[in-house]
Amino acid sequence: MSLELTAEERAIAAGSDGTAMAMRIVADSARLLGAPRLIPIASAHIDGALYHGDSGTLFAERLVEGGARVAVRSTLNVGALDLTGCSRVRLEEPARGMARRMMEAYRKLGCEQSWTCAPYQAGHRPAPGTDVAWGESNAVVFCNSVLGARTNRYGDFLDIACAISGRAPDYGLHRPENRPPTLVFDISALPAAFLASETAWPVLGSLYGREVGNAIGIVVGVRNHPGEDALKAFGAAAASSGAVGLFHIADVTPEAASFADIEPQTTIRVTPDLVADARRRLSTAQRTDRIDAVAIGSPHLSLDEFDALERLLAGRRLAVPVYACTGRHVLSALEKDGRRRALEACGAVIVADTCVVVTPILADRRDGVLMTNSGKFAQYAPGNTGYGVLYGSLADCVESAVAGKPSFAEFGR
């Protein structure tokens, strides 16, 4: 099947400016993917503004020099610097300067300075059935699954090319016939108390992603709506342990009811033993007698999650720092109410615009131990930071940070 461009798309691609370059990138990608056409998009979320090397900065600056501007609403994922000044990033020159140039280039392209991996909690929530082009794995899976919009997992730098051209290849999860589930992930055998806990959803997401890969499943056996933060944690873990771009949860997510009569090819029956094994896999630290830091907020913390952190902390002084990663939309609310100052007085370090696994913020320790309640942090921290991980609930993380050593209460290790 060959790609057919409209007369307008062909005319744009024939130009020599930055918009033409973006259109050609999208069209060439569509040809490689076997898409028959391009489709208009309503918005984009850009993951490509995170500095990984000079080529990314130079690419963005070339688009700017060519006069390109985004054609649709475009929010930005985390960058490599905390532009708010909340936390100290140990990125040295010349990389630091190149990272700043990259972030500035995306501002000049017309992108919103959101700098968060949870744009859906910062007001960017496309309507169900809307075609968009989002990058960042957790944002993609949340957009598809919880919001019911339609996007593929757009990588660097196809995401910004889609945003500038206002188009995306018509393939994959944009097409309704590719969105039904092919398997059932049955959690009805799990205790209700576990499913009601904050711990459950990162663990279940990690297990789900490892079991399904890039398949689309429907989760059954959920007794009550777990809440948006739980769905955020589930999707993030699933998208990092597997290649999940879309999941459904019976009686919870918007498209699930459409597939009530579909006969799945496979059923995965989740047992307490499978959950216990999935939880053990999230902890990789060789030493369990100490921790050097706690990191939470992958995806970025919501205000509700800061509420929970403050209740658990209760004004106590931390023996080791808690790095609380969040977006500037949440930071502004914390500053308005004086909560940022109170958290920092306890020893917490608020990280905005970025997070501790994508840029050097944690102390440089060869045998460091990081504790987290994030399934995504648990997946990526060992490779990205060199720290071993201990996984626990938020309550475990806070008690451990206060004590200066691991403390596990909820459902054990």
Torsion angle of alpha carbons 67, 69, 75, 80, nearest 10°? Answer: -10
pLDDT, tens digit (0-9, with 9 covering 90-100), for 293-313: 999 999 999 999 999 999 999
Residue 258 clears pLDDT 90, i.e. is over it: yes
Q: What's the mean per-residue pLDDT of the chain?
A: 96
What is residue 286's predicted lDDT score, i.e. its pLDDT? Answer: 86
Q: What is the tens place of the pLDDT at every residue in 109-119?
A: 999 999 999 99
Q: What is the pTM of this model?
A: 0.96
Segment 347-404, tens digit of pLDDT: 999 999 999 999 999 999 989 999 999 999 999 999 999 999 999 999 999 999 999 9
- Cα–Cα dist 17/343, whole Å: 48
Coil, helix or strand for 53? coil
Residue 126 gets which letter from DSSP?
A: P
Q: Which of 124, 137, 208, 109 is nearest to 358 (CA)?
A: 137
Residues 6+ apart with CB under 8 A from 391: 202, 203, 279, 282, 283, 371, 372, 373, 375, 378
Which residues are paired to 413 by β-bridges? none
Residue 184's nearest CA partner among 271, 269, 253, 241 is: 269
Band of pLDDT at residue 204, cut at 50, 70 and 90: very high
What are the tokens at 52?
């990984």
∠ Cα 42 55 151 (to 5°)? 20
Of 155, 73, 153, whose CA–CA distance to 109 is shortest? Answer: 73
